Amino acid sequence: MRVRGVVLVGVLAAAWAAAPPAGAALNPQHAGLQVALRAQGLYDGPIDAVVGPRTVAAIRSFQKTHGLRVTGLADEHMRRELGPFGTPLFGARSITRGEFGWDVAVLQFLLVRHGIAVPVNGYVDGPTVRGIRRYQHELHLAADGVVGRATFTALGLQTRIPVAARSRSTVRVPVYVVKPGDSLTAIAHRHHTTLATLAHLNRIDPRRFLLIGTKLRLPAVVRVSAAVSATNASAVRASIDHWAGYYGVDPSLARALAWMESGYQNDVVSSVGAQGVMQLLPSTWKYVERVLIGHKVAHTADGNVEVGVAYLHHLLGVFAGNEQLALAGWYQGERAVRRIGVYKVSRTFISDVEALKARM
């Protein structure tokens, strides 16, 4: 269902091409431009909707390499060349789970400015849907996770966004209620932590029996938003290309997967403990180190990329080079693909990565 927001789109599009003067209201559409340029590895600055010298330089670089007239202004021709992240402008359609594009990046930028930490990668993933619902709940809207007319109207009231970039983070301390048959070891494994960590956090003796109904604190999950921080996207992209070449993986596929997972951000931690550029679980990291490559890897952005690309190479080998099955294995697990096949939710992820691959 498309949003009947022609007036909104027209107003935003008219203000889109040039940077606002100092002290003026920001144009959130510029955040979509910055995310699209970051995906190309051309922009390392903060996603702040301010078209400053670094953004203009990135625009010029893109125009030059794509045979466009070098003006430093992002026009409609350039947006088409940006591919999936060049369209549509914010307000042109309803936004639902599984979609990606310019408008999604703008939405994520606005949510972060509202204090709701979500990844800013132009893709409507689980954390973004939860962020939308939280925002809708705060505004007393129907919390359906779909950005339609009412949510657009509410977001449209937030036109004066602070110019100064501020780092935001959220800390969630989840609680688990002990059920019959549970053990501390099993709970730790299920939540990707250790027995010692759980025992220390809850001040309990791991040798004693757990009482049913006991509330256990789990390690907090911290997500630092990528929307207001600068990242060396070009260095991450170079790392991806290096390890893709080393392991014989299509660099466009590796770039698209990394972008979908984190937006090239190494400080993102998911609600289940997946970390870094490639969003790897600790168990996956250990498997790659111990079984696939046989050595320890430093927990840096480059190390995260190395482990992720090595695992992707493994999945491509397991599924005889079939990228769709390899991506399904990445998203839902290799064993699940073998036993059950590709989940419906995985198909959306696969199609999005493949569409993005053509532009990465």
Taking only the tens place, the pLDDT of each residue in 296-351 is 999 999 999 999 999 999 999 999 999 999 999 999 999 999 999 999 878 888 98
| Tokens coding 39 | 């995906």
Is domain 174-219 classified as CATH 3.40.50.970? no
Higher pLDDT, 355 or 9: 355
Q: What is the mean pLDDT of residues 69-96?
A: 90
Higher pLDDT, 269 or 246: 246
Q: Look up the CATH architecture of domain 6-156.
A: Orthogonal Bundle (1.10)
Taking only the tens place, the pLDDT of each residue in 145-191 is 999 988 888 887 443 333 333 344 444 457 888 888 788 877 877 77
Position 16 pLDDT exceeds 60: no
Which of 124, 118, 90, 117 shows the shortest CA–CA distance to 5? Answer: 90
Q: What is the CA radius of gyration of the chain?
A: 21
Is the pTM of the predicted complex or chain greater than 0.85? no
Position 132 pLDDT exceeds 50: yes
Helix (H, G, I), strand (E, B) or coil at 242: helix
Query: Contact, 155 vs 108, CB < 8 A?
Result: no
Percent residues over pLDDT 90 in the chain: 41
**Predicted pLDDT of residue 249:** 95
Total Cβ atoms within 10 A of residue 211? 7
* Beta bridge mates, 170: 223
Spell out the CATH class of 233-357: mainly alpha
Query: Contact, 136 vs 121, CB < 8 A?
Result: no
Lowest mean pLDDT among 110-114, 230-234, 321-325: 230-234
Task: Give CA–CA dist 154/180, Å, rounded.
Answer: 45
Task: Name every residue whose Cβ is closer than 8 Å to that of residue 150 and which is 6 or more positions away in sequence.
Answer: 141, 142
CA distance to 14, 29, 39, 84, 213, per residue, from 18 (Å): 9, 11, 21, 22, 59
**Predicted pLDDT of residue 219:** 67
Q: Let me know how many helices (H) and strands (E) the chain has, helices first.
A: 16, 4
Which of 29, 3, 34, 2 shows the shortest CA–CA distance to 16? Answer: 29
**Domain segments of the chain as ranges:** 6-156, 174-219, 233-357
Task: Give CA–CA dist 322/332, Å, rounded.
Answer: 15
Instruction: Give me the chain's average pLDDT, please.
Output: 81
Indicate the pLDDT class of residue 23, thresholds 50, 70 and 90.
very low
Q: What is the mean pLDDT of residues 183-211?
A: 76
Position 15 pLDDT exceeds 50: no
